[in-house]
Amino acid sequence: MTDWYLIFDREPQPGSWNMAVDEFLFRQARDTGQTFLRFYTWLKPTASLGCGQEVSRVLNLKECQKRGVEVVRRMTGGKVVLHHREVTYSVASARSDIFTSTLEGSYRLISEALVLGLQLMGLPAELAASTPAGYARSNLPCFAYPARNEVEVRGKKAIGSAQKRSGEAFIQHGSIPLVKEVELLAAISFGLVEGQEAAMTSLSDELGRQVGYLEAVEYLIEGFRQKFKITTENYLFSPEEVDIIRKIERQKYASWNWTGHKLDPGEV
């Protein structure tokens, strides 16, 4: 049996804080060998860029400003994601005995836990078998299509995830929309073409009723507990840890010097 630390943010937080906390948890996992499971959501609409994306190719910054959409850059790769009315999860660990030592292996195990959580909620969730040709090299937003081992419901992508690794240590985080916001995504991003919104979905759409953040998180936590056969211990940041997170936030995620420039993986 393995104990994990659980961080369940019940109130929405700014995007820069959310990204700084995830980086802090990655560092903690790398340095201490601890495993963290976190759930959080967003104070206002926020577009997150993959670390290697060129802003001008994927986002309309004028439209973001006009519509009050914040922009952050993740420490992970992948495509642009619009975060707002959603559940976001992150898992940080250095335990290869639990997650394997590969990106693909750990990604699949975490996806299986997420699938189980959605199934407990009553959804026919499963893993996508393959990545559509050309999608990986495109500028399409993250939720345009499901890729291999991502979570889909009735053929539509339900969760978009990305991972960063350093040796045995990794962080994987992902977006689980509670409500579709296709019009806003289409307005602020490039590459989404007419008709593609039919391939996008949300938990509320698939269940045919409004699904709240707190409800969804409880099912997802149970999915992780059952998949990995774990207990979880609630984790609260100490004042010293909050200071470290604030410093990460100031130096990176709240700064345009970080957000506005494409990064090589080694810079993250």
For the record, the structure tokens of 4 come out as 């994990």
Query: Which residues have C-beta within 8 Å of that of residue 134, sequence separation ≥ 6?
Result: none
Which residues have C-beta within 8 Å of that of residue 65, sequence separation ≥ 6?
none
Q: Single out the catalytic residue among 142, 178, 186, 221.
A: 142
**Residue 108 · residue 209 · CB < 8 Å:** no
Q: How far is CA 152 from CA 61, 116, 264, in A?
A: 30, 12, 30
64 is catalytic: no
Pairing of strands 36-40, 70-73: unpaired
Question: How many CB atoms within 10 Å of residue 262?
Answer: 15
Cα–Cα distance for residue pair 96/105, rounded to 1 Å:
10
Copy the structure tokens of residue 182. 């296709």
> Within a 13 Å sphere around the CA of 66, how many CA atoms are in the beta-carbon half?
8
Q: How far apart are CA 19 and CA 130, in angstroms?
A: 29
C-alpha 178/C-alpha 211 separation (Å) is 6
Phi, psi of 163 (to 5 degrees): -135, 145
Q: How far apart are CA 189 and CA 71, in angstroms?
A: 12
Q: Exposed/middle/buried for 204, CB within 10 Å: 0-12, 13-18, 19+?
A: middle
Active site residues: 142
